[in-house]
Structure 1
Amino acid sequence: MVKAREPGPLGQAVAQRIRTLQDDYQRDSSQAVQALALLRRGIGRQATETPELWGLVGMEQFYAAQPENHRPYEAEILRAERAAHVAVTLWALHQQSNRTKRMHVADGASLGTAVRRLMSGSDSDEPIRKRLLRAGTATSFDVLGQRLRELVVLLRTAEIPLDYGLLAEQLDRWQKPGGPSLVRQAWGRSFHAYRPPADPGQQQDDAPELPESDALANQTKDQT
């Protein structure tokens, strides 16, 4: 079993915010139900266009988690705002109407792992794999958000959780120079490295990253 690495300030902030909302939602708190409805309405919109979501996506925790005497640069703040907005609104979609299972699990499970868990090993899995490829070849942050939404709908139906703190950090990295390639590589590695648990009832942790680029990363480049 591979121990999940410690998340950075953004991953911590998003995970903390979602954990609080998730706990309250599963207790059927009316305030949490309303918050998730607001968050879902923010899907596909810019973070700067949704003042009604202030206080709901974890930016306060992001600032609080910064090292002492460190003030984030404007570009760093903008990346974090966009990443947190997409991650938390997608989680709200993922968790919708599910009061019994947690769709955010802070176990380090990457998107590739979650998508691989959707697949049964038959020819019918090809459309699912192609959706991951489409996310990996997104040419803009907005397009990436749209394609992630398609995957989250599938994960919600199958009740397969995702580490949204990790996703937020990957969305932040995606916006940096060279970031799309690195994120695509991470998704591809976790997709290919996943192994089903020996016990069908056992929760599968994220598989270890492989040392080399994999076929999925290469295929996404071919499809760009």
Structure 2
Amino acid sequence: MTLAPPPAGERTTLTAVGTTAGTEISRLQRGYLGQRSDAVAALARLRRGAGRDASAVPDLWGLLDVDPLYEQPDLHQTRAENALYTAMTLWAVHQQSQGNPMHRRSQELGAAVRQLMRAGEIDGAILKRFVRTGTAPTLTLLSVRLRELVTLLRRDGIGLDYAVLADQLYWWQFPGRADGVRRAWGRSFHAFRRDAETSPPADGPTTS
């Protein structure tokens, strides 16, 4: 029996998808920032999978520890793996050539995108990209459009909570649940206030 998604817009504890993403990214992020050759190589492999179906990129198989996903029988396994790999590949693009951690807790997608804009202004081109991302009809196309946003975030050194994103990508795949994810992105965009901006912890998933 597959775990039923929470009501749209309801804030819940992360599933094993989000916690696994947070654990794996934190591990690789520490290694990458420490210039460990194995972590640098792993990120290069992950980047090659960005915007592509994970099942079509054999180089990713065995790269991540996905055992926690299979320890949760109520997860939809295919959707869980799809979400995990998508989030991990996007983070690898985001972290490339960055000396600071780009996985940052409590920084949701909408708030991160809002920081691309000047205080008190709405950048029409960036807003259009954000809206297009929300209208993607498939996970593969969603990944492509998220990559466009992630590239902009990397340019400006703006971090993102990839544990939360992984969980959102998991729920997004359930029929009728994409709207709830889009609403969460929109809320975090409109709720962000630059004068309240802080520097959240870099490592580890958000769990509440």
Which interval holds the TM-score relative to the shorter structure? 0.7 to 0.9
Provide the residue aligned with 1:128 in structure 2: 126
Which structure has more RCO (C-alpha within 8 Å, separation ≥ 6)? 2
Q: Displacement of 1:203 after TM fit?
A: 1.9
CA RMSD across the alignment: 2.0
Q: 2:182 is matched with which residue: 175, 184, 198?
A: 184
* Per-residue deviation, residues 25-72 of structure 1 (Å, max 9, x unmatched): 0110011111000000111221112222123344223335x3xxxx24
Post-superposition shift, 1:103? 0.3
TM-score (norm 1): 0.79
Q: 2:118 is paired with a residue of what secondary structure?
A: coil
- CA-CA distance at 1:110 after TM superposition: 1.4
Q: Which residue of structure 1 aligns with residue 3 of structure 2?
A: none
Contact 1:134 1:147 in 2 (8 A): yes
Q: Using the alignment, how far apart are the partners of 1:114 and 1:92 within structure 2? A: 17
What TM-score comes out, normalization by structure 2 length?
A: 0.85
Size of the alignment, in residue pairs? 191
Look up the match of 1:101: 100
Partner Cα distance (1:58, 1:174) in 2 = 22
Given that residues 57 and 84 in structure 1 are in contact (C-alpha distance below 8 angstroms), is that contact kept between their aligned partners in structure 2?
A: no
Task: Measure the CA separation in 2 of the matches of 1:53 and 1:139.
Answer: 24
For 1:204 and 1:17, locate their aligned partners in 2 and report how far apart those are by CA, in whole Å.
19
* CA radius of gyration, larger in: 1
Q: Please give the alpha-carbon distance, in whole angstroms, between the structure 1 residues aligned to 2:62 and 2:51.
A: 18
Does the 8 Å contact 2:70/2:77 carry over to 1? no
Task: Give secondary structure in 2 for the equivalent of 1:197.
Answer: helix
Structure 2: which amino acid aligns with 1:177? Answer: P
Contact 2:103 2:161 in 1 (8 A): yes
Q: Is the 8 A contact 1:58 1:84 kept in 2?
A: no
Which of 2, 19, 27 is residue 20 of structure 1 equivalent to?
27
Q: Name the stretch that deviates more: 33-42 or 4-13.
A: 4-13
Q: Distance in 2 between matches of 1:196 and 1:122?
A: 9
Which secondary structure state, in structure 2, belongs to the residue aligned with residue 88 of structure 1? helix
- Which residue identity does 1:203 align to in structure 2? S
Q: Which residue of 138, 159, 162 maps to 1:161?
A: 159
Gaps of 5+ in 2: 1-10, 202-208
Q: Identity rate of aligned residues, in percent? A: 47
Corresponding residue of 1:55:
62
Cα 1:97–1:89 change in 2 (3 A) is same
1:181-213, Cα deviation, whole Å (9 max, x unpaired): 111111001100111135x7x3269xxxxxxxx
Asked whether the 8 Å contact 1:14–1:84 carries over to 2, the reply is yes
> Distance between the aligned counterparts of 2:166 and 2:177, measured in 1?
13
